[in-house]
Chains A and B, each alone.
Chain A
């Protein structure tokens, strides 16, 4: 959950990049890391296998700036996409404030996309979170490749909840910041509503 520290006037939120193996989650973070000025980001930590596949998570801390006098920070995580690593995916999802679902637009990957999205719903539900209650942004990645499905088909099969969605080519940086902006906005809007309705929280567990 978002951590609002009234004493130090800081807000920290966690966004998790989810999706099937090799859909471009790590590439999203690498692109963000390569473009953001050094004083607004930390080291990118990648826990990967020898073959450069994500084993546990990638992590990138970002500082956006101040809103209403609060320094706003985001912690971006990716999950390992391979089916085999579901236990670690569940751990990384813990405490997520928002999710970016990175789908692979290639025709051959549609089944993997659908399976991964179902897996996201199940893993959230296991933590008693309804996917309708958490900000989700959809990214259709690899639009630069041949044999991609058209956007309408992807929307129909994956985005039946009509969440914000973006076409992207993470390797080239297209759509990466649009996706992050929409996810940040969703998370902070939800936080604003929570500030209005809930009791104050100085330290969340």
Chain B
């Protein structure tokens, strides 16, 4: 089976995402898994704006899927919300890393047609990647556990101001 190096894993998601952003002319895009965890992003300046968007989108995806099942469908097609200046597209697809979702924000420099077109191309690229669970381990579980207690003490001291 093909194996990905660490640099390849990083590039595996990031390069197709950056190509998508450029070709579709969108402002921002983020690739998440079903739990709302971020796998790659382009265009978000603050990490925390990004995780907020990702968690809300995962919520929309989960509730849309649950609604679809109640109505006898497996899952609805992609979601598109249009505002006055900005539009949002949420597209889901299956991959070797489970169900993933692309969230993208665009304005008058793009259109829903363009976004859908390049979304399909993006999905093809991600689906051609080797399995994502072949990454090499680079952390010692023993070190991790032994550092855990002291790290948590330090973190919580920092968090609550001592």
Contact = CB atoms under 8 A, between A and B. Distances in A.
Interface of A: 1, 3-9, 12, 14, 35-37, 40-43, 45, 47, 56-57, 59, 61-62, 64-70, 72-73, 75, 77, 87-88, 90-92, 94-95, 177, 180-181, 184-185, 188-189, 191-193, 195-196, 199-205
A-B CB proximity, top 10 nearest: A205-B98, A42-B48, A95-B35, A202-B135, A7-B10, A196-B141, A195-B141, A203-B97, A192-B145, A91-B62
Interface of B: 4, 6-7, 9-10, 33-39, 47-49, 51-52, 55-56, 59, 62-63, 66, 95, 97-100, 132-145, 147-149, 151-152, 154-156, 158-161
Given A185-B148, A202-B9, A75 B36 contact: yes
B139 A205 contact: no
Nearest to B133: A201
16 contacts: A3-B35, A12-B37, A35-B159, A40-B159, A64-B152, A64-B155, A65-B155, A67-B144, A68-B139, A88-B63, A192-B145, A195-B144, A196-B141, A199-B133, A200-B136, A202-B134
B159 A1 contact: no
Given A72-B151, A177-B160, A201-B135, 5 more contacts: A45-B52, A64-B159, A75-B37, A91-B59, A91-B66
B144 A45 contact: no
B33 A203 contact: yes
A205 B132 CA distance: 10
Name B's interface SS.
helix
Given A1-B35, A75-B55, A7 B9 contact: yes
Given A65-B151, A202-B9, A202-B135, A94 B35 contact: yes
A67 B37 contact: no
Given A59-B55, A202-B135, A192 B6 contact: no
Nearest to B8: A7
Contact of A68 (B62, B144, B152): B144
Given A41-B48, A45-B52, A181-B152, A203 B159 contact: no
Contacts of B66: 87, 90-91
Contacts of B36: 75
